[in-house]
Amino acid sequence: KRCDIAVIGAGMAGISCARQLAAAGREVVIFDKSKGMGGRMATRRGDGFSFDHGAQYFTVRTAEFVAALADWQQAGWCAPWSGRVVALADDGQPRELVPEARFVGTPGMSALCRALADGLPVQHQLRLLALQRNGNGWQLAFDDGSQWQAQQVVLAIPPAQAAPLLAALPALQTRAAAVEMQPCWAAMLLSDSPLPLAFDAAFIGEGPLSWVARNNSKPARPAMESWVLHASPAWSAQHVDDDPAQVAQALCAALAGHCGGSLSPHQLSVHRWLYAQAANPLPDGFLLQDGVGVAGDWCLGQRVEDAYLSGTRLADALLAAH
Ligand code: FAD
């Protein structure tokens, strides 16, 4: 099988790159190892509830992203989140933050990436295992045994997953391998009644938790009281191989501490992000050599906006190099 450009990774970086390439008339195929779209912009759905268990919201700091956001909002793919977001001080008291506009995909974080990828060919449940030079282009080997030929390749995946695939390009491999991604345990909690908390989300500086958010305070979500709890990078690293059920209980107990008592959730589940956010992102924006580009939030920063900018800047460079 052949394509002009193979984009590996259907997260914000891969999709924004693929969209820009396709808009310039290039033939692009996106591949992702998972069933869904959006990568770490993830939404888990159930009967009458939903959780954004990865990225919580996104902020908008550059003119390029402001322009993109305006189109997406107009199309109804995302909306501002006006929940009360505070910092919880050591004394447990909420402190107001400097106001900042926050946006979320609607009706869930992953919906934004699904909308952005609409019309682009996506091959799901295919994991890239190896990348080899082949004539002027590249040969890709996937875990179902299939082989694809492409003129150019984009790896829009976390560095720990990109580095082993870059054996043919040692300079890129070394750069990717130097970026460390921190893990994050995320707990998802459903409650029959609203939790007694005077905020919709909080940054927490002490203990196992670094962030908690009332998912149903975001626009277009189901009404059922649903909370996402993120453990801090340090706690997540320390407990990375713990039993998920014990992690869920520990995070729930930490939240109960902030509610002034015990909690009896209606449902409690947990997800482990092994590669949540980069501790030491690259400054480059993207990497590119011999028709293989590398993009992702970690090429620029830690956030959705960085993933978008990394993907679109790599697309510009690939178009210029063609
Ligand atoms: P990803 O979203 O990771 O996409 C990579 C894709 O590649 C995935 O879909 C994966 O399945 C696929 N893949 C990997 N390896 C292979 C392979 N070999 N073959 C095929 N497919 C492969 N950002 C914010 O701006 N605000 C926040 O509040 C925020 N909170 C966060 C909280 C958590 C817990 C996490 C995990 C992230 C958070 N982020 C936040 C970061 C944000 O999610 C990322 O910056 C952004 O989503 C990264 O997009 P990406 O396209 O670079 O990578």
What is the tens place of the pLDDT at every residue in 71-86? Answer: 999 999 999 999 999 9
Q: Which residues are paired to 147 by β-bridges?
A: 141
Polymer length in residues for the chain:
322
State which amino acid sits at residue 80.
Answer: P
Are the C-beta atoms of residues 297 and 281 closer than 8 Å to each other?
Answer: yes
Phi and psi at residue 308, in whole multiples of 5°? -60, -50
**Backbone CA torsion sign across 89, 92, 97, 103:** positive
Compute the distance between CA of residue 70 and CA of residue 66 in angstroms, rounded to an integer.
6
Report percent pLDDT > 90 for the chain. Answer: 94
Q: How many contiguous H segments (helices) and E segments (strands) does the chain have? A: 8, 19
**Choice from 20, 129, 157, 292 to test ligand 1 binding pocket (greatest atom count within 8 A of CB):** 157
What pairing do the DSSP bridges indicate for beta strands 292-294 and 147-155?
Answer: parallel
At residue 76, the pLDDT reads 98
At residue 167, the pLDDT reads 98
**What's the CA-to-centroid distance between 156 and ligand 1, angstroms?**
9
Phi and psi at residue 160, in whole multiples of 5°? -65, -25
Closest CA to ligand 1's atom 40: 55
Closest CA to ligand 1's atom 13: 9
Q: What is the mean pLDDT of the chain?
A: 97
Complex ipTM: 0.99
Residue 157 pLDDT > 80 = yes
Residue 284 pLDDT > 80 = yes
Reduced to 3 states (helix: H, G, I; strand: E, B; else coil), residue 120 is: coil
Compute the distance between CA of residue 160 and CA of residue 177 in angstroms, rounded to an integer.
6
Residues with a CB atom less than 6 Å from ligand 1:
8-14, 31-34, 39-41, 54-58, 127-128, 156-158, 161, 184, 186, 230, 273, 276-277, 296-297, 302-304, 306-307
Q: Which residues are paired to 3 by β-bridges?
A: 150
Domains of the chain: residue spans and CATH: 1-37+117-178+282-322 (3.50.50.60), 45-111+181-279 (3.90.660.10)
Arithmetic mean of pLDDT, 19-35: 98
Residue with tokens 């909420």: 94
Arithmetic mean of pLDDT, 240-247: 98
Residue 90 pLDDT > 80 = no
Closest CA to ligand 1's atom 12: 9
At residue 266, the pLDDT reads 92
Cis peptide before 121 (omega within 30 of 0): no
Measuring CA to CA, which residue among 145, 141, 121, 120 is closest to residue 131?
141
Residue 143 pLDDT > 80 = yes
pLDDT per residue as tens digits for the range 193-202: 999 999 999 9
Measuring CA to CA, which residue among 245, 226, 225 is closest to residue 185?
245
Would you state the structure tokens that stand for residue 137, as one six-digit string?
């282009």
Tally of CB atoms within 10 A around 209: 24
pLDDT per residue as tens digits for the range 130-141: 999 999 899 999
Residue 247 pLDDT > 80 = yes
pLDDT per residue as tens digits for the range 159-192: 999 999 999 999 999 999 999 999 999 999 999 9
**What's the CA-to-centroid distance between 56 and ligand 1, angstroms?**
12
Instruction: Give residues with Cβ within 8 angstroms of 98, minimum separation 6.
Output: none
Ranges of H-type helices in 56-124: 63-75, 109-116
Closest CA to ligand 1's atom 28: 56
**What's the CA-to-centroid distance between 123 and ligand 1, angstroms?**
18
Considering only the C-alpha atoms of the chain, give the largest distance between any 2 of them, rounded to a whole number of Å. Answer: 66
State which amino acid sits at residue 79.
Answer: A
Are the C-beta atoms of residues 12 and 304 closer than 8 Å to each other?
Answer: yes
Would you state the structure tokens that stand for residue 253, as one six-digit string?
């107990």
Measuring CA to CA, which residue among 53, 20, 2 is closest to residue 295?
20
Instruction: Give residues with Cβ within 8 angstroms of 313, minimum separation 6.
Output: 285, 286, 295
**Choice from 20, 31, 40 to test ligand 1 binding pocket (greatest atom count within 8 A of CB):** 40
Residue 262 pLDDT > 90 = no
pLDDT per residue as tens digits for the range 223-238: 999 999 999 999 999 9
**Choice from 297, 302, 306, 309 to test ligand 1 binding pocket (greatest atom count within 8 A of CB):** 297
The upper half-sphere exposure of residue 287, i.e. CA atoms within 13 Å in the direction of its Cβ, equals 25
